[in-house]
Amino acid sequence: MTDYGLSEEYQDLSDTVRDFADQVVAPVSQKHDEEHSFPYEVVQGMAELGLFGLPFPEEYGGMGGDYFALALALEQLGRVDQSVAITLEAGVSLGAMPVHRFGTDAQKEEWLPSLASGQALAGFGLTESEAGSDAGGTKTKAVLQDGQWIINGSKEFITNSGTDITRLVTVTAVTGTTERPDGTVKKEISTILVPTDTPGFRAEKAYNKVGWNASDTHPLSLKDVHVPEENLLGVRGRGYANFLSILDEGRIAIAALGTGAAQGCVDSAVRYAKERHAFGNMIGKYQAIQFKIARMQARAHTARLAYYDAAARMLAGKPFKSQAAIAKMVAGEAAMDNARDATQVFGGYGFINEFSVARHYRDSKILEIGEGTTEVQLMLIARELGL
């Protein structure tokens, strides 16, 4: 039987990040949310804490930890500030991880030290207006000519792609076609490293989002972007398979973030239910509130168990696709449901932006959409059942 108690070093890491989240992140969360500003000082603090290097080996400037360590950090950050958590999540699991997993030694040496130390950020340019989970719709093209890839196209919703410290975006692009045995033609998709100072690469104006206001998200345009042939990341034509595996892991990270958000809503609701009095009692004395919060706690707990299990399977080298999809779906829904219930517990104050539950309410919706919608998770789960 698996014991989900944390080992001492995981617990200590989690406690440290919790303190950091409460002492360093929380005091500036509202300001960055209101101003839609990127929290550079918090990112610098996370860098000093080594969070950007958690799952990477020490030889590349990492902390020598693993993906579960990253997930624990994300849970603690997500509890307090989802924008900060997604900045770390995207920086590590979407930005740096593809280089670590699929890069050549030279690519790793060039990029990992600055990414793992948090001095630079990388984005993952996959989504397009007509391509996301269905990568077959990818329209961005890369043509190999005289030892250079010439890339043209555009990307949507790319996290961390336009900050002052963004140095790299990994883009997926159609690099040709392959003919299947049955005669049908399929797009060959590859991933290519594009340094952000390459002429023709542009991060367009940031989106005006419903939530995650302090997270950096842009559309990207690539016009005759020339990069050396050796910037191909991984094997040509394996881009699709590679990003699928990156997304499988990423779902565990997003599940951890969602678990944190769900827990943050519980913690806030419990505190408020003990403070606020109505009809002669603190409102936490009434079952209407008790049951709501008890249900919230059950959701947060379930989400945590789901991501712990998916992470444990991943670290043990077992298949975890279905478990990661379940964890991502359950945690995203827990965050959204808990945010809705927490704002209800807060009453009118839950609708005021300076309260963190209101921020969670706006922030949590994307957890049912990003890194594969809930519907895509259901597809994956059903597929694993042979349907």
Q: Which lies closer to another protein via its Cβ, residue 35 or residue 41?
A: 41
If the CB atoms of residues 24 and 367 are measured against another protein, the closer one turns out to be 24
Cβ-contact 148, 226 below 8 angstroms: yes
Encoding tokens for residue 100? 């670590």
179, 275, 371, 375: the catalytic one is 371
Distance in Å, CB of 254 to another protein, minimum: 21
- Cα torsion through 3, 7, 320, 326, rounded to 10: 70
Return all residues near 161 (Cβ < 8 A) that are at least 6 apart: 123, 125, 155, 169, 196, 203, 216, 217, 218, 220
* C-beta closer to another protein: residue 25 or 222: 25
Report the Cα 174 to chain-centroid distance in Å: 25
Residues that bind another protein (CB under 8 A): 8-9, 12-13, 16, 19-20, 48-51, 54, 58, 63-65, 69
What is the rounded CA–CA span in Å between residue 42 and residue 20? Answer: 9
For residue 248, count CB atoms less than 10 angstroms from its CB and return exposed for 0-12, middle for 13-18, buried for 19 or more.
buried
Compute the least distance from the CB of residue 80 to another protein, in Å. Answer: 15
Contact 224, 152 (CB under 8 A): yes
Closer residue to another protein (CB): 13 or 227: 13
Work out how close the CB of 384 gets to another protein at its nearest, in angstroms, rounded to a whole number. Answer: 32
Residue 187 pairs in a beta bridge with: 177
Enter the tokens of residue 306. 């789901």
Question: Residue 150 or 282: which CB sits closer to another protein?
Answer: 282
Closest listed residue to residue 303, CA positions, set 7, 32, 4: 4
CB nearer another protein, residue 20 or residue 320 = 20
For residue 20, the minimal CB distance to another protein (Å) is 6
Count of C-beta atoms within a 10 Å radius of residue 141 = 16
Rounded to 10°, the helix 287-315/67-80 angle is 160
Q: Is 46 helix (H, G, I), strand (E, B) or coil?
A: helix
Q: What single letter denotes the amino acid at residue 215?
A: S
CB of 96 to another protein, least distance (A): 15
Specify whether 41 is catalytic: no
Question: Any idea what the Cα angle at residue 297 is, between residues 294 and 299, rounded to 5°?
Answer: 115
Least separation in angstroms between residue 130's CB and another protein is 40
Closer Cβ to another protein, 47 or 325, answer by number: 47
Q: Is 123 helix (H, G, I), strand (E, B) or coil?
A: strand
At its nearest, how many Å lie between another protein and the CB of residue 44?
Answer: 12
Contacts of 64 (CB under 8 A, 6+ apart): 56, 57, 58
Q: Is residue 254 within 8 Å of 371, Cβ to Cβ?
A: yes
Q: Which amino acid is at 74?
A: L
Tell me the Cα Rg of the chain.
21
Catalytic positions are 371
